[in-house]
Amino acid sequence: MIRAMRSGEVSSAWRRVLWTHVAVLFLAFAATNSKAQQPAPAQGLRIVGGLASVSQYTLHEERFWSQDLRRLSGGKYGASIVPFNQAGVPGQEMLNLMRLGVIPFGTALLSQISNEYPELGTPDIAGLNPDMPTMRRVVAAFRPYLEKTLRERHGVELLAVYVYPAQVIFCKRTVTRLSDLAGRRVRVSGSSQADFVRALNGVPVFTEFAELMANMNSENTECAITGAMSGNTLGLHKVTNSLYTMPISWGLAVFGANTDAWNALPEDLKALLKTELPKLEAAVWNESERDTGNGIACNTGVASCMKGTKGAMVEARPSADDERRRREIFATSVLTRWVQRCGAVCAEVWDQTIGPISGIKAPVGQ
């Protein structure tokens, strides 16, 4: 069978086999370790959660699974949780491992799994969502397609959609408008962010979050697109001076369950999760909105800063002209290149879901 597969397919297949074994070993360790630290729940779920150290995980995901579930079920059910980026499993493999049932319940970042399944990244293409109300409308329009696709193509039941704070621009030299990025090396985390930077005649530099500060300190990067609060946590306010607060993208994640694992749950537990997980989702969204404002406040050193470290950055807010340019770049460059990479399926998905509410049609003949 392997001889009949293309070399890329062989590589992908072997990669998944490898990471399946790694994940099995890790999750077995995590389960043993959690049992040593907590009383064993009557029905113990193993959860792989979102990004470690961010408020969305520490204040909401972790607390819900490690504390609230036991309380809400009267002690009948409980869970152990570990953040995916501490689980030793690449984020881009999360959906595949959930489909295989290796990870029965997990959180997957759309920006990472969309490298393999680009249509799933549709609601957070760079330049699409200038504010949280727009993001809410976009996700609401895309959600039915997302639920159907995850269930029918990937064997995953969608239980919640999480959002991270706005991804804004930190720069060493002053930025007051988008055109100031021309010629500058800008850290990006995905292809659509890179397309956005290229449209401004900037130079995108793909950098993992963990390597961001090292790149900035090595002079390899002049600017960075990242979360307002997470950038503060990293210490970006110490090595940059200018904060341009246009949200380039946000960061969406899906929390889901392998269909077989979900169907195997007791009916009362499924009913409880269907009632409580929408509340957890709402809390995560509200936290992200607060963290966006709080991150800006902390980086610029204003009195309303909470949880972060006060910096002395100068904030520049997008003008009406730059908002028009953002929309133009999205429609004529970012969306076009995304459809070129993804193909006709993405154009069709766009026109059936988000296109009607954005007022932008997918380009044809790409």
Domain coordinates of the chain in residue numbers? Answer: 2-164+251-292, 167-250+298-358
Q: Which CATH number fits domain 2-164+251-292: 3.40.190.170, 2.40.160.50, 3.40.50.1100, 3.30.1330.10?
A: 3.40.190.170
CA 13/CA 311 separation, integer angstroms: 47
Cα–Cα nearest to 349, from 341, 359, 361:
361
Decide: 191 and 332 in contact? Cβ < 8 Å: no
Domains 2-164+251-292 and 167-250+298-358 share a fold: yes
User: What CATH number belongs to 167-250+298-358?
Assistant: 3.40.190.170
322 versus 55: the higher-pLDDT residue is 322
Question: What average pLDDT score do residues 353-365 get?
Answer: 91
Alpha-carbon separation of residue 308 from 54, 62, 211, 323 (angstroms): 11, 20, 20, 28
pLDDT at 12 over 60: no
Question: What average pLDDT score do residues 252-265 get?
Answer: 96
CA 92/CA 115 separation, integer angstroms: 7
CA 51, distance to chain mean position in Å, is: 9
144 versus 39: the higher-pLDDT residue is 144
CA 139/CA 122 separation, integer angstroms: 9
Neighbours of 341 (CB within 10 A): 13
The helix/strand/coil state of 161 is strand
pLDDT at 136 over 90: yes
pLDDT at 17 over 50: no
Question: What average pLDDT score do residues 152-172 get?
Answer: 97
pLDDT at 8 over 70: no
Question: What average pLDDT score do residues 189-205 get?
Answer: 95
The pTM score is 0.86
152 versus 52: the higher-pLDDT residue is 152
pLDDT at 64 over 90: yes
pLDDT tier, 34 (very low <50, low <70, confident <90, very high otherwise): very low
pLDDT tier, 365 (very low <50, low <70, confident <90, very high otherwise): low
Decide: 167 and 247 in contact? Cβ < 8 Å: yes
pLDDT, averaged across the chain: 88
Question: What average pLDDT score do residues 217-224 get?
Answer: 91
Choose the weakest-confidence range: 37-46, 83-92, 329-338.
Answer: 37-46
252-258 and 156-163 strand pairing:
antiparallel
Beta bridge partners of 48: 82, 106
pLDDT value for 307? 84
CA 79/CA 64 separation, integer angstroms: 9
What's the full length of the chain, in residues?
366
Cα–Cα nearest to 297, from 316, 284, 310:
310
Which residue, chain included where needed, has tokens 């069978």? 1
